[in-house]
Amino acid sequence: MKNSIKSLVVFISSLFLSFSAFAGGHAYTGPDLSGQKVVMFGPWLSPEQETMREVGAIFEKATGATFEYGGSDSFEQQVMIDLKAGSAADLVVFPQPGLAANAAAMGGLVPLGDDIKQMVLDNYAAGQSWIDLSTYADENGNEQFNAIFFRTNVKSLVWYSPDNFEDNGYEVPSSMEELMTLTEQMASDGNTPWCIGLGSGAATGWPATDWMEDIMLRTHSPDVYDMWVSNEMPFNDPRVLEAMDFFGSIALNDSYVNGGSKAVATTDFRDAPNGLFTSPAECMMHRQASFIPAFFPEGVEAGVDYDFFYFPAFAGKDLGTPVLGAGTLVAATNDNPATIEFMKFLMHPEPHEYWMAKGGFLTPHKGVDGSKYASDTFRKLGEILTGATTFRFDASDLMPGAIGAGTFWTGMVDYTNGKSAKDVADAIQDSWDAIK
């Protein structure tokens, strides 16, 4: 999987391509599947689940099959019960490749076959690297192409209110040093610099892993990052502890985070950004991936009420401008015709364009109409991507499920609750040794 991460640098250009694609809509047409039913289960709740159902309605209309989507914020646990019992929904949306790999190793996923693989190669920019990321060993150890990426995102973003910045005379920082100076200045002005929320039901803790990954990419070379992901470098290496302590210098400082450090673990990640829009503002900045505007309060407008800047790199370190990204995968648990046809439907531009228009959706699909993006703000993401010198896939998503969707999350919650970086990292490494 390591090579595939490296080849993902091409991902940058792939996303950019999708911004500049030609105008004109695409309409999906499919075979007649009347009377058949496809059920999908995933981690998306409102408002994403409504969008997914609307996307499914396009499929229903074209084929006559029925589509149902159900979401849960205990997705990671529930899907494992379902897979063990063999009763999972036809389609499963995995938020992380690591979890999908676990599911494949249990024999829970069906191989998708060469024609869908060819569609990914043809339609997705850097198709092979996407295929590498979704090819897993099955229960007999054979490598199988199991899933397709649908909905990708860029993580290295800081959201803010341009008006609040203007009122206070703050400038968008261009380096990490400037960002830290700005943070300090905000605190001394009596403002709270950051809103951080780690709460996410059973997945509580994941936003902190994104912080860790972004910091790792900014404090050490990409090779170190790859070694960290594969555990060639142990989790309790001093370089990882350094990154954790850097995160702690923000999250554990009561005057830097909204509600104080005690509130970090208990605030829901979906509520956290609301502090940008209160009167008076509860915080000035919020670091989160490109999907977060879906959770902003009703009525706020991109480019007017909020905007984003690139989570900057250290000017003093020669590490370029790294960008962190991730994506959700759709896998099938059985190969009935309607399910397989739905996978093919997801490779068609129409579902991508539909969701792009709803916002919070990036895609490596080359065939989509870039003008469908919800706003110029999302188009601006292209600039961040083309300016990147390093692209890396979300580390916790690539780690084995027990770590990346388990002890890494809970460890970060422990850390924000006051446990030392060393203890947290040791515990995570122990859990990793235990599954080797």
Partner 1 sequence: MKKISLSSILSQLLLLFFVIVWIIPTFGLFISSLRDKDLLAISGWWTALTTTEINEIYRMSGMETQIEEDGYFKIKGTLFEENSGKKIESFGINSKKINEFKIGDIAIFKDESEVILDEDGNYEWRSKSEFQKKKGKRLFTTSLSPPSFTFENYREVLFKEGIGRAFINTMAVALPSTLIPLIICSFFAYSLTWMRFYGRDTLLAIIIASLVVPLQMSLIPILTIYNDFGALFGVAAKSYPGVWMAHTGFGLASTTFLLRNFLKSLPNEMMEAAKVDGASHYDIFLRIIIPLSIPAFASIFILQFLWCWNDLLVGLVFLDQVPSEIILTAKLKELLGSRGENWEILTTGAFVSMTVPLFIFFALQRYFIRGLVAGSVKG
Among 27, 81, 137, 435, binds partner 1 (CB under 8 A): 81
Window 316 to 345, contacts with partner 1 (CB under 8 A): none
Is the distance from CB of 287 to CB of 211 less than 8 angstroms?
A: yes
Stretch binding partner 1 (CB under 8 A), from 107-115, 197-205, 373-381, 382-390: 197-205
277 binds partner 1 (CB under 8 A): yes
- Closest CB to partner 1 among 41 and 361? 41
CA–CA distance, 143 with 136 (Å, rounded to integer): 5
78 scored as a contact of partner 1 (CB under 8 A): yes
Query: For residue 220, what are the contacts with CB-CB under 8 A and spacing of at least 6?
Result: 239, 243, 319
Distance CA 156, CA 227 (A): 20
Nearer residue to partner 1 within complex by CB, 331 or 421: 331
Closest CA to 60 of 342, 344, 355, 343: 342
Contact 95, 397 (CB under 8 A): yes
Shortest separation between residue 299's beta carbon and partner 1, angstroms:
9
Name residues whose C-beta falls within 8 Å of residue 268's C-beta, 6 or more positions apart in sequence.
197, 199, 200
Examine residue 193 and say whether the peptide bond preceding it is cis (omega within 30 degrees of 0). Answer: no
Q: What is the SS3 assignment for 224?
A: helix
219 binds partner 1 (CB under 8 A): no
Q: Which two tokens stand for residue 52?
A: 């997914």
Closest CB 109 distance from partner 1, rounded Å: 16
Q: What is the nearest approach in angstroms of partner 1 to the Cβ of residue 201?
A: 5
Please answer whether residues 136 and 144 qualify as being in contact, where contact means their C-beta atoms are separated by less than 8 angstroms. yes
Task: Indicate the residue among 164 and 396 with the shorter CB distance to partner 1.
Answer: 164
CB count, 10 Å around CB of 320?
15
Residue 266 beta carbon to partner 1: minimum distance, rounded to whole angstroms: 11
- Among the residue ranges 19-27, 37-45, 115-123, 388-396, the one whose residues contact partner 1 (CB under 8 A): 37-45
Selected from 118, 174, 181, 278, the binder of partner 1 by CB under 8 A is: 278
| 3, 46, 118, 386: which one binds partner 1 (CB under 8 A) | 46
Over the window 143 to 172, marking each residue x when it contacts partner 1 by CB under 8 A and - when it does not, the resulting string is --------------------xx--xx----
What are the CB-based long-range contacts (under 8 Å, 24+) for 222-231?
A: 222/322, 222/390, 222/392, 225/392, 225/395, 226/2, 226/5, 226/6, 226/392, 228/395, 229/2, 229/5, 229/395, 229/398, 229/399, 230/1, 230/2, 231/399, 231/432
| 3-class secondary structure, 73 | coil
Q: Is 279 in the site for partner 1 (CB under 8 A)?
A: yes
Q: Does 301 bind partner 1 (CB under 8 A)?
A: yes
82 scored as a contact of partner 1 (CB under 8 A): yes
Amino acid, single-letter form, for residue 286: H
Residue 122 contacts partner 1 per CB under 8 A? no
Could you tell me the smallest distance in angstroms from the CB atom of residue 422 to partner 1?
33
Q: How far is the CB of 390 from partner 1 (least distance, A)?
A: 33
Q: How far is the CB of 112 from partner 1 (least distance, A)?
A: 21
> Smaller CB distance to partner 1: residue 283 or 385?
283
For residues 47-76, which are near partner 1 according to CB under 8 A? 47, 49, 68-74
Residues 402, 429: Cα–Cα separation, whole Å: 11
Q: In which order are the strands placed within the sheet that holds 307-310?
A: 285-287, 157-160, 307-310
Task: Please tell me the distance from the alpha carbon of residue 283 to that of residue 23, in angstroms, as a whole number.
Answer: 39
State the nearest-atom distance from the C-beta of 35 to partner 1, in Å: 13
Where do contacts with partner 1 occur on this chain (CB under 8 A)? 39, 41, 45-47, 49, 68-74, 78, 81-82, 84-87, 89, 163-164, 167-168, 199-201, 268, 270-271, 274, 277-281, 301, 304-305
